[in-house]
Amino acid sequence: MKIDYYVELAGEQTDCKKLSDIVKEIWKSEGNLMKDLASMEVYFKPEEKMCYYVINGDSKGQFEI
């Protein structure tokens, strides 16, 4: 079964899978291997149009949507 998640606020829509895909691409672009990605927390604040993330409990970052 495929499930899609979206967040909508003030007429704007964001695909949650897209956010996690961006975090994975950032992880890889920093020279890390996907097999080393054990956990990922993604926090999207639509009112700020910002996405914050934590990888493996210690690698933190953010990006604008």
**Res. 5: pLDDT tops 90:** no
Give per-residue pLDDT as tens, 20-38.
999 999 999 999 999 999 9
Whole-number Å distance between alpha carbons of 33 and 44: 24
Per-residue pLDDT, 13: 86
Give per-residue pLDDT as tens, 45-60.
988 889 999 999 999 9
The model's pTM is 0.86
**Res. 65: pLDDT tops 90:** no
Residues 6+ apart with CB under 8 A from 53: 23, 26, 40, 41, 42, 43, 60, 61, 62
**Res. 4: pLDDT tops 90:** no
